[in-house]
């Protein structure tokens, strides 16, 4: 690791576009002070953010690390830490971080940090990586030791993070991976967060328009009144779950969001299962948010439009708060089915743009192109 003549260590945060770049830009304002405080010895740090799609058309670690090394050689930096929101794999495990102390490089996969407090965890991870790369080298027969071992978010008695296996032809000399069911769940939550499921709501404008129109008509329909007042709570729950499942399944099938692989290896199948699980959870969260919004909108509409005497004469049930709530709940289920039909008017590209981050869209498009060839 080189230190400039002014005694300043220059750190480059090489980030994939979108979420990784945003995270890098936020942490870049605090990193110099944090690194100087933790490193001691009067050392100073400068941090630069470089936004580039360095993971384009590649997910294997040796290729990515060589790309990072080549990019680092082009810049006047002492340390390069690369951030990506794609899940990376190493010998059947999910990669958290790769480090090369010889070249001053680190590669961090953000999904392995989980879906909560991502900014804080990412900053701590970058701090540990930079401090490890900036520390005096202490190399033994088994590779980097001593001060080069990572702490903080990488290891811990309860953390599902373990040192990972490194191939002989790789430039990395220290690797951490996540393993076990808790590690799988952690990566899954990280992938879902990277997809930003809340974007699904405004992204499905035609489906929402169909759902709102269906809800508006159903709210003033006397048959729906009778059904809503006669259904028990378990049946209302079944109607809700069924409509949500129909909407989720229709979006995934109609937009071809299900990930398929032609490879028969266990690792490829586990990877496909992870991607499909993240798709189901991402779309599920978005649909549930839409459903909750429909309940609220239908309730407001019912409070405005319904007449108590007409409702009571039709259903022989007084129109009280319970009836308002039950009707709005049931109408939301009916409207969700209408929204599923309306989603057929959306283009596949619009649904994918709403369901996935830009980097995940590019990754899946590249996979489809490879399978088509």
| Whole-number Å distance between alpha carbons of 305 and 313 | 16
Report the pLDDT averaged over residues 154-164: 61
Q: Provide the pLDDT for residue 148.
A: 52
Q: What is the pLDDT of residues 317-370, one digit of tens each?
A: 899 999 999 999 999 999 998 887 776 656 666 666 666 655 566 666 655 555
Q: Provide the pLDDT for residue 1.
A: 42
Question: 114: Cβ–Cβ under 8 A, 6 or more apart, which residues?
Answer: 121, 186, 189, 190, 193
Report the pLDDT averaged over residues 217-241: 93
| Exposure class string for 28-49: b at 16+ Cβ within 10 A, else e | beebbebbbeebeeeebbbbeb
Biggest CA pair distance of the chain: 88
Q: What is the pLDDT of residues 83-115, one digit of tens each?
A: 998 888 887 788 889 999 888 999 999 988 888
Q: Provide the pLDDT for residue 19.
A: 84
Q: Which residues pair with 4 in a beta bridge?
A: none
Polymer length of the chain: 373
Is 6 a residue whose pLDDT tops 80? no
Q: Please, which pLDDT band fits residue 242 given cuts at 50, 70 and 90?
A: very high
271 vs 317 pLDDT, higher one:
317
Report the pLDDT averaged over residues 226-246: 94
Is 296 a residue whose pLDDT tops 90? yes
| Whole-number Å distance between alpha carbons of 98 and 129 | 9
Q: Provide the pLDDT for residue 75.
A: 84
Q: Provide the pLDDT for residue 24.
A: 93
Q: Please, which pLDDT band fits residue 126 given cuts at 50, 70 and 90?
A: very high
| Whole-number Å distance between alpha carbons of 363 and 262 | 16
Cα separations in angstroms, 104 against 73, 142, 310? 11, 18, 76
Q: What is the pLDDT of residues 175-201, one digit of tens each?
A: 888 878 888 888 889 888 877 787 777
| Contact (Cβ atoms closer than 8 angstroms) between residue 253 and residue 276 | no
Distance of CA 286 to the CA centre of its chain: 13
Q: Provide the pLDDT for residue 300.
A: 95
Q: What is the pLDDT of residues 45-63, one digit of tens each?
A: 899 999 998 887 777 788 8
Q: 91: how many CB neighbours lie within 10 A of its CB?
A: 13
Q: Please, which pLDDT band fits residue 158 given cuts at 50, 70 and 90?
A: very low
Report the pLDDT averaged over residues 214-243: 93
Q: What is the pLDDT of residues 207-216, one digit of tens each?
A: 888 889 999 9
* Region of poorest pLDDT, from 26-35, 158-167, 299-308: 158-167
Q: Provide the pLDDT for residue 146.
A: 41
DSSP state of 316: S
Residue-by-residue DSSP string for 158-218: S--EEE----TT-S--EEEEE-HHHHHHHHHHHHHHHH-GGGHHHH-HHHHHHHHHHHHHH
**What backbone phi and psi angles, to 5 degrees, belong to 228?**
-65, -40
| Contact (Cβ atoms closer than 8 angstroms) between residue 347 and residue 341 | no
Q: What is the pLDDT of residues 10-45, one digit of tens each?
A: 999 999 888 889 999 999 988 998 888 888 777 888
Q: 269: how many CB neighbours lie within 10 A of its CB?
A: 12
| Whole-number Å distance between alpha carbons of 8 and 2 | 10
């Amino acid at each position: 690791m080189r230190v400039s003549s002014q005694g300043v260590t220059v750190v480059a945060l090489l980030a994939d576009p979108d979420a990784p770049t945003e995270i890098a830009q936020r942490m870049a304002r605090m990193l110099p002070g944090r690194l100087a405080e933790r490193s001691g010895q009067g050392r100073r740090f400068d941090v630069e953010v470089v936004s580039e799609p360095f993971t384009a058309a590649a997910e294997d670690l040796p290729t990515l690390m060589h790309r990072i090394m080549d990019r680092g050689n082009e810049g006047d930096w002492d340390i390069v830490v690369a951030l990506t929101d794609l899940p990376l794999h190493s010998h059947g495990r999910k990669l958290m971080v790769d480090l090369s102390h010889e070249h001053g490089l680190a590669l961090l996969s953000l999904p392995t940090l989980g879906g909560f407090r991502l900014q804080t965890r990412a900053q701590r991870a970058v701090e540990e990586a930079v401090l490890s790369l900036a520390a005096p080298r202490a190399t033994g027969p088994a590779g980097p030791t001593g001060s080069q071992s990572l702490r903080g978010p990488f290891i811990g008695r309860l953390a599902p993070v373990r040192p990972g296996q490194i191939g002989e032809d790789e430039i990395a000399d220290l690797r951490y991976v996540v393993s076990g069911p808790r590690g799988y769940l952690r990566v899954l939550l990280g992938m879902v967060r990277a997809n930003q499921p809340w974007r699904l709501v405004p992204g499905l404008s035609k489906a929402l328009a169909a759902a709102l129109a269906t809800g508006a008509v159903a709210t003033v329909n006397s048959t729906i009144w009778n059904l809503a007042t006669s259904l028990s709570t378990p049946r209302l729950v079944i109607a809700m779950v069924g409509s949500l499942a129909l909407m989720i399944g229709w979006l995934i099938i109609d937009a071809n969001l299900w990930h398929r692989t032609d490879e028969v290896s266990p690792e490829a199948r586990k990877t496909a299962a992870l991607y499909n699980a993240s798709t189901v959870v991402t779309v599920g969260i978005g649909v549930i948010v839409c459903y909750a919004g429909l309940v609220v909108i239908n309730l407001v509409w019912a409070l405005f439009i319904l007449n108590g005497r007409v409702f009571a004469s039709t259903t022989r049930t007084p129109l009280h708060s319970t009836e308002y709530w039950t009707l709005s709940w049931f109408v939301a289920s009916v409207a969700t089915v209408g929204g599923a039909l309306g989603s057929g008017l959306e283009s596949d590209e619009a649904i994918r743009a709403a369901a996935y981050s830009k980097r995940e869209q590019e990754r899946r498009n590249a996979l489809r192109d490879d399978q088509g060839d």
